[in-house]
Structure 1
């Protein structure tokens, strides 16, 4: 016969049922914000609280890090930032320069609160549109949200075996990797961003693209510590070939900002750089290589595809407010062709000085 004590012990404890509330993250909330992000499968590296300090200090953008809470526990997060310029318009959305971002919630009530906060803020700021960035749509059945085909991402599983990973690279690109190996290229991990910035600035200048401020890269390295690695490729005699900043997240590695010098083309430096990173990441236990997003029709898109990665559409979502249509802030847009042509002709020191003032208005 069951005793009263045993019966009480077997009775399920009622689930928490307090009201869900909306808040803006404060400095004292950062640790538990990040704990929620790390514990929630749908969250990603770009939801971490460190992005707030990076974006505000590097570019001066305003940010709002909303979270919902129930019975003292975070139930959802939504980092937002405003990008406002006369040239590119006024928008609110995921952190600028972050490929993924949007609301993450453990229940529908939390998602509604976060959506409501974003909607109210968009109206208050008078933005042209609100943007969420994800690998899947957040509101597939809501006609007030639209999407457009512009970006794709490239993600692929890797194994612990170098030979298996090398053989998975298509023959032509594999030959380029072997060329770099034969020429004695090597990778070195840097504790600063000096060589990364030199390689990246040189690379984007040749592409006709404004460069980020060096401060931005330094802040990323400072904010994310061991999860942010700078890997630099050099020749046997120490000449700079290229450098890449990567993020480590769970069992993934995300090469995020990379660039090669003019020498890289001669020595297959770019192919070797990503192979060297893949080797190092696999040795650390990473099992997914996220080559990041690219715009359709670009050289970066072709490079990743030639590595055997399959393009996965990124259905970013947009909600229009003050704008009648979405802006076409795309380097493939013909109206930017002259700008790109002129930018390539600027002396590198001049481009590096002006670039950060322009790029802060992008995102």
Structure 2
């Protein structure tokens, strides 16, 4: 048989070897994220592989099944993260993987498959282009990078330092402080928070390619972020700060020291993460010199099915967000993980 599609359930080495070999692969195509999702949220996963006549992997498609009364029944590649989707070295393998995904869709009775592509690989699929990721091309050394920054950004970093803020870089030993800041920030935004075990699982699964960076004032974390890297790209998928300290510019110090770490670690690109063009986070990232790269969220839909609108900008969630922002922090932290596990 020239082409074979099947579920991959091995230990991950062959999968990761293929992922690493592909130019369009992302951090989240790595097999370890399957363990993170399953252990953190309990979702069923379908990791599909395509093999050629020589039994070599020529394509992969990681899928997570999410089903709840509140948010619906669907497959995502990948939820909770910025990227995913189908990865292949020849289009015939990608087409076969998507066809098999449709078979799974029908079998489990789900409504759609969401593919979070950073490249528009499948031109015939329904597509959303509502988000971009902000990428900064890094210089070869810290001094050159500093000089390339906008003068306003440099002044904000200096202000943070003069305000007595300092940074610390670490790993699991900084998780509690990171999570405390993260919970406060997410409650204030009106968004249910992930459980701490989600971040612990990430750090334990990828001990050599993750770090926590925290900005502290007199030993207390006031801003914190989780760094992860793959190939020559370092990303900050989760970063938060306490609004009470905004005037001290802790976010600016956090990102500058993260950029310095990225350069020292050999990264060529710094990924600020996804944003909606024109909004506040987009402008913050743009001031660092980051450029928008279009994201393509593509869908396999059942006949007659509309594109999903499961996002905080949907007006039907306005009241829920306002209520959540008023919850005591302890209440938000207790119930948040039970809700957010079903939000992709």
Write the mapping of 1:28-39 to structure 2, written as runs, cut at 5 A: 28=11, 30-39=12-21
SS of residue in 1 equivalent to 2:66: strand
- Deviation of 1:323 after TM superposition, in Å, equals 6.0
Q: In structure 2, what is the Cα distance between the partners aligned to 1:297 and 1:359?
A: 26
Q: 1:357 to 1:298 in 2, by over 3 A?
A: farther
Matches within 5 A, 1:164-179: 164-179=144-159
Contact kept in structure 2, 1:196 and 1:242, CA below 8 Å: yes
Which residue matches 1:50?
Answer: 32
Pick closer, same or farther for the CA change 1:338–1:298 going to 2, 3 Å. farther
What is the Cα deviation at residue 257 of structure 1? 0.8
**Is 1:317 matched up with 2:336?**
no
Q: Which residue of 2 aligns with 1:194?
A: 176
d(CA) in 1 for partners of 2:108, 2:95: 20
Structure of larger gyration radius: 1
Moved more, 316-325 or 60-69: 316-325
* TM superposition shift of 1:296: 4.0
Task: Quote the residue 2:240 is aligned against.
Answer: 259
- Once residues 226 and 102 of structure 2 are traced to their aligned partners in structure 1, the CA distance between those partners, rounded to angstroms, is 34
Change (3 A) 1:323 1:200: farther
What is the CA–CA distance in structure 2 between the aligned matches of 1:282 and 1:176, rounded to whole Å? Answer: 20
Q: What's the CA shift string for 1:100-137, capped at 9, x where partnerless?
A: 11111112332222112111111112221111111221
Q: For residues 1-363 of structure 1, what are the structure 2 equivalents within 5 Å?
A: 19-28=2-11, 30-70=12-52, 71-140=54-123, 142=124, 145-192=125-172, 193-235=175-217, 237-296=218-277, 298-321=279-302, 324-363=305-344
- C-alpha deviation, 1:294, in angstroms: 1.7
Counterpart secondary structure, 1:196: helix
Question: Structure 1, residues 66-101: CA drift from partner, whole Å, max 9, x if none?
Answer: 111232321111100112222222211202112111
Residues 25-81 of structure 1: CA distance to partner in whole angstroms, max 9, x if unpaired? 1133x1111111112212111101111111111111111011112323211111001
CA contact (8 A) 2:116 2:297 kept: yes
| Distance in structure 2 (CA, Å) of the matches to 1:256 and 1:232 | 14
**Any gaps of 5 or more consecutive residues in structure 1?**
1-17
2:178–2:221 Cα contact (<8 Å) kept:
no
Deviation larger for 287-296 or 41-50: 287-296
Give the distance between the partners of 2:279 and 2:335, measured in 1 at CA.
Answer: 24
Three-state SS of the structure 2 residue aligned to 1:27 is: coil
Task: Supply the distance in 1 between the matched residues of 2:334 and 2:147 (Cα, whole angstroms).
Answer: 43
How far apart are the structure 2 equivalents of 1:165 and 1:116? 45
Q: Secondary structure at the match of 2:312?
A: coil
Task: Look up the SS of the partner of 1:225 in the other structure.
Answer: coil
Q: Distance in 1 between matches of 2:109 and 2:276?
A: 28
Residue 208 of structure 2 aligns to a residue whose secondary structure is helix
Q: Distance in 2 between matches of 1:39 and 1:310?
A: 25
Give the total of aligned pairs: 341
Alignment CA distance shift 1:344-1:55 (3 Å): same
The CA distance in 2 between the partners of 1:296 and 1:125, in whole Å, is 35
Deviation at 1:295, TM superposition (A): 3.0
TM-score, length basis structure 1: 0.89
How much has 1:293 moved relative to structure 2? 0.8
CA drift of 1:349 comes to: 0.7
Over aligned residues, Cα RMSD in angstroms?
Answer: 1.7
**Aligned 8 A contact 2:59 2:94 in 1:** yes
